[in-house]
């Protein structure tokens, strides 16, 4: 989409908007509640307060002046556990238009450019469109277990991509 701008770095209002996008999507589609939205908001806030441009990435996709997508790379433990891809979301308003693919490619290119060797993410079974994008970007399923990390019991999945 020509009108979409990918912006790197914190943008005023982005914490609230990313929490809103995640909270609404996962509530309406998966029954997640307050715990999940609050976790996204607090975890994202903590991440941004320790954000280091040399290892971390934070991108928003803006369409018509409104944040409609997001992805982050948390590189705090990149040297041992790998960089952590987090908070990936694209709004219903622009889903299916290539924005998710653009965000993932932006994040993965950043990881390659700064030398992260491995990237991982946690998601859960049933997010087929997201899984397709992850696998297209080189991620492979490495672990699966039942858990409630997001406040609701789901089949959690860990994906990893090796960048060496």
* pLDDT tens track for 8-47: 999 999 999 999 999 999 999 999 999 999 999 999 999 9
Q: What pLDDT was estimated at residue 1? A: 55
The answer to whether position 150 is within a domain reads no
Enter the pTM of the model: 0.94
Q: Which residues of 46-61 are buried (b: 16+ CB within 10 A; e: fewer)?
A: ebeeebeeebbbbbbb
Q: Report strand pairing: 83-90 vs 118-124.
A: parallel
For residue 139, is it within any domain? no
For residues 52 and 46, is the Cβ–Cβ distance under 8 A? Answer: no
**Any domain includes 26:** yes
Q: Within a domain: residue 134?
A: no
Q: What is the CATH number of the domain that holds 73?
A: 3.40.630.30
Q: Where are the beta strands (DSSP E) in the chain?
A: 4-8, 57-63, 66-74, 83-90, 118-124, 140-147, 154-162
Summarised one tens digit per residue, pLDDT across range 84-142 is 999 999 999 888 889 999 999 999 999 999 999 999 999 999 999 999 999 999 999 99
Does 83 reside within a domain? yes
Residue 66: inside a domain: yes
Q: Is residue 154 part of a domain?
A: no
Q: Is residue 12 part of a domain?
A: yes
Contact 112, 87 (CB under 8 A): no
Give the count of domains, the chain. 1
- Domain region containing 54: 4-120
């Amino acid at each position: 989409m020509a009108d979409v701008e990918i912006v790197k770095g914190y943008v005023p209002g982005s914490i609230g908007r990313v929490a809103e996008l995640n909270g609404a999507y996962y509530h309406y589609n998966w029954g997640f509640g307050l715990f999940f939205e609050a976790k996204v908001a607090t975890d994202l806030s903590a991440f941004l307060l320790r954000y280091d441009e040399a290892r971390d990435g934070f991108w928003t996709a803006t369409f018509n002046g409104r944040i409609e997508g997001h992805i982050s790379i948390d590189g705090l433990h990149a040297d041992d556990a790998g960089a952590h891809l987090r908070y990936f979301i694209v709004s219903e308003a622009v889903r299916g238009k290539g924005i998710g693919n653009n965000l993932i490619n932006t994040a993965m290119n950043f990881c390659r450019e700064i030398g992260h060797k491995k990237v991982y993410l946690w998601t859960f079974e049933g997010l087929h469109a997201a899984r397709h994008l992850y696998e297209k970007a080189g991620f492979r399923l490495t672990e699966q277990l039942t858990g409630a990390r997001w406040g609701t019991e789901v089949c959690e999945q860990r994906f990893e991509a090796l960048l060496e």
